[in-house]
Chain A
Amino acid sequence: MKDFISLEAINRRDLLLGFGVAGAAVVLLAGVPAQAQADDSWEAALKKVVGDAKPIEGKITLDMPEIAENGNTVPFSVSVDSPMTEQEFVKAVHVFSTGNPQPVVATFHFSPQSGKAAVSSRMRLAKTQDIVCVAELSDGQFALAKRTVKVTIGGCGG
C-alpha cells in the first residue's frame, strides 16, 4: 500500500513535470509561427509602408467588383483625389491583399507628370478577402481604402 502511494506520488510529479515541459513547448511552438506569420502578413507589409503614421480615410477610391467569379483576373481601379502638381502629388499607391499567399499585389509610382493619380489593372485573388490600398502623398500623409471581394473560384493555380 505504501509502495503504491509513493509510486503515485512519483507519477504525479512526473506528470506535473511533463505538463511543464509540454506547456513550455506549446508556448515555444505558438510563439514561432506567430512571429513567422507576422513577417508574411499584410499587416506587416502595410506597416512597412505606413510606419507609425495613421492613414486618413477618403481621398482614395478603390473600384472592384463585389463578386468575382474568376479569381484569376479581377479588375481593379485605384484613383486618388489630388491636383498632381509639383507641390502636391501622390507619390505612390500600394495595393495589399489580405488573403493571398503574398500580401503585396503591386506598387504604383506616380509623378507630377502623371496628371492624374489613377490606375487600372487586374489581380489574382486566392479566396474571398479584403483588398487594402494605401496612397503615399507628397506631404507625408497616407490615405487608405478597403474593399471586400467575394471570390467564387480562387486564382492561385494548383
Chain B
Amino acid sequence: MSTKPRIRVPDTAKVGEVIEVKTLISHIMETGQRKDRDGKPIPRNIINTFTATFNGKEVFKVDLQPGISANPYMAFHMRVPGPGDLELSWLDDSGAKIVEKVKINVS
C-alpha cells in the first residue's frame, strides 16, 4: 500500500445529480491460499474494507474478500447533495489505511 490510488470523478456536477466515482488502488490482495517455495502458506493480506463518505456521511461501503482481484477497482455512484469532500478509505489486513479526499465541485 504505497502508491497513490487513482480516483476519477466528474469535473463538476449539478446538485441532485448522480455521479459515478471510479477508483483503482494497487494492492497484492494475497488470498492466504497460496504457498511459498518451502510449502509454507503465505498469510492473507487483502484490503478488507473500502468506504466512501461525503461530508462525514457514509455513502457506500464494501466488505472485500480474497475473491476480489489484485489491485482492486471499484466504480460506484453517489447523489451529489451539494459541494463538499468525498473521502475514500482503504483498510487492509495488516492494519494499513489509505485515505484520500476529493473535492466535488458543484456548477
Contacts and interface: CB of A to CB of B under 8 A. Distances in A.
A77 B78 CA distance: 16
Contacts of A109: 60-63
B90 interface: no
Interface string A106-119: 11111111111111
B66 interface: yes
Interface in A79-137: 84, 95, 97, 100-102, 104-124
Nearest to B34: A157
Contacts of A72: 69-70
A106 B59 contact: no
* Band of interface residues on B: 20 to 34
Contacts of B73: 120-122
Give the interface SS of chain B, mostly helix, strand, loop or mixed.
strand
B63 A111 contact: no
Interface residues of A, number: 35
A117 B76 CA distance: 8
Contacts of B60: 108-111, 114, 119
Interface of B: 18-19, 31, 33-35, 54, 57-70, 72-79, 81
The 10 A-B pairs at the shortest CB distance, nearest first, are namely: A115-B79, A115-B18, A105-B67, A116-B77, A120-B75, A122-B69, A109-B61, A73-B69, A107-B63, A157-B34
Interface of A: 72-74, 77, 84, 95, 97, 100-102, 104-124, 155-158
